[in-house]
Structure 1
Amino acid sequence: MPPPDPRDAHRELLQVLAFPLMGLVPQPTVEDHDSFAIVEVKDAQGRSQMSVSITYTLWRNPADHDDPVNLAELDEQTRESLDFEPPWERPAWLIEGAQRFRYPMLWEAVRTSWHRDEAEHSPLAQQLVDHADHVLRNQFREELGLPRGPHSDLAWQISPSAVNSAVTLEVDGAEVAASEIDTDPFVYAIGARLAPDVVTTVVIARDHLPYVRIALAVRECSTSDRLPA
């Protein structure tokens, strides 16, 4: 029996969230294929913290997915690994996931974070910096000159002083107070506090910004009846 699609367990979990999960508004250039990164912390009382990040596929020419302009820039080793056909049968979800690496990703682009204890919720500015640093650390290591493995060089990290708190973000069709980071050469970041215990942040590579409309809405999989304040 082939291994189950790990996204199935994520889908089930997302149906019972205690908070509204945010995602980019539907748009032709951005494909949501149920790719989530979920981090949760539990204690004796149950779940105390949780964050859900969504990764999207980017289509520069959404009218023609076969257009070479849609392909990501891959090194030869990566291309060879994607072209390799193993002698064993792979489940469809695994084949699909591997093929997606041929195209640019908005990696963990939209994150929704919830804390049960509001007093322990980090300030929006710090959560925005943390999300941006997370994307930089994982997607721009070569550009930042970061070595493999542990290292003590933290000069690349974004300073909280780079956060501008005088902007707005479209959420469910309304403009809400937001903060942004528009000084980093590799990524743009923006976020908002939706409730005392819920924050949403968005981090997009600058090369992808021309193709993405940064506006958020409650994702359909979220069954929570809570709405952003």
Structure 2
Amino acid sequence: MEWVGILPEDVPDPRAECVENLKLMPIPVLGLIPQPSLEDTDSVSLNYGLDDRGYSEMTASITYTLWRNPDDRSDPVNLADLDEETRRGIEEIPPWPRPPWLIEQVERMRYPQLWEAVRTTWHREPRSSLESLLADHINHILMNQYRQQLWPGDKPWDQHAPVITGRMVNGQARTVINGVDMPAAEVDTDPFVYGIGARLAGGGVVTAVLPRAELHRIQVRFTTRR
């Protein structure tokens, strides 16, 4: 259901529907291991493709809240670097009641979000290499989160060639999934993000794209998301 304008105070939290939709995923959804600096708030998006045989592909993407000082969430170091328009939108309280989940999401905008940081990708008939899927994930993050750093003064509708290609991926890396050391592929050369991914034993691929500036705070290990 889509809402336009003022949301009724009792409108359901859309994350509940998203969690239910994740049951359609043919393989387990992975995320980063639980750790103090990352908070998983069920901000998961699900994209899929359909054909006459049903679902042909699915991608689940997890967004995390980053806590630079998880022991004291009131520490100003935890705050995101916001522009004046965004800050004003958070501070201004409308004269009508809002759903509790919406208030929570608006307040969470004060803190850095690792947008779509981890992807679990499934194809009914695998046709993309791990390297190309990792490059796609990295380019998706760069185009949406680092556009102004890459192309100052750029317009949102301007088109650009991919920053990362499959040939730039190192296929000799390692990672840990559910406590098991696994072969992996990584991109450790981009100035803005670090990317890593691996094929899953049960089919599919997991990839993570993380801000290089925050990498020292994050344990880059995967686990099945419960």
User: Among residues 172, 184, 188, which one is paired with 2:178 in the alignment?
Assistant: 172
1:65-144 aligned at under 5 Å gives the runs: 65-118=73-126, 121-144=127-150
Asked if 1 retains the 8 angstrom alpha-carbon contact of 2:175 and 2:198, the reply is: yes
Which residue of structure 1 aligns with residue 204 of structure 2? 198
| TM-score, length basis structure 2 | 0.92
Asked if 1:53 is matched to 2:61, the reply is yes
Q: Which blocks of at least 5 consecutive residues in structure 2 are unaligned?
A: 1-7
Which residue of structure 2 aligns with residue 36 of structure 1? 44
Which residue of structure 2 aligns with residue 151 of structure 1? 158
Mapped to 1, the partners of 2:156 and 2:79 lie a distance apart of 29
Deviation per residue, 1:115-160 (Å, 9 max, x gap) = 1123xx3100000000000000110011011622322432x61132
Mapped to 2, the partners of 1:185 and 1:200 lie a distance apart of 22
Asked if 1 retains the 8 angstrom alpha-carbon contact of 2:137 and 2:207, the reply is: yes
- AA paired with 1:127? L
Mapped to 2, the partners of 1:196 and 1:117 lie a distance apart of 13
Asked if 2 retains the 8 angstrom alpha-carbon contact of 1:30 and 1:58, the reply is: yes
Asked if 2 retains the 8 angstrom alpha-carbon contact of 1:129 and 1:160, the reply is: yes
Q: CA RMSD in A?
A: 1.3
Mapped to 1, the partners of 2:19 and 2:97 lie a distance apart of 25
The DSSP-based 3-state class of the residue aligned with 1:15 is helix
Mapped to 1, the partners of 2:34 and 2:159 lie a distance apart of 40
Mapped to 2, the partners of 1:10 and 1:195 lie a distance apart of 25
Q: Which blocks of at least 5 consecutive residues in structure 1 are unaligned?
A: 221-229
User: Among residues 191, 214, 218, which one is paired with 1:212 in the alignment?
Assistant: 218
Deviation per residue, 1:80-124 (Å, 9 max, x gap) = 111010111110111111111110111111000001123xx3100
Which residue of structure 1 aligns with residue 3 of structure 2? none
Identity of aligned residues (%): 47
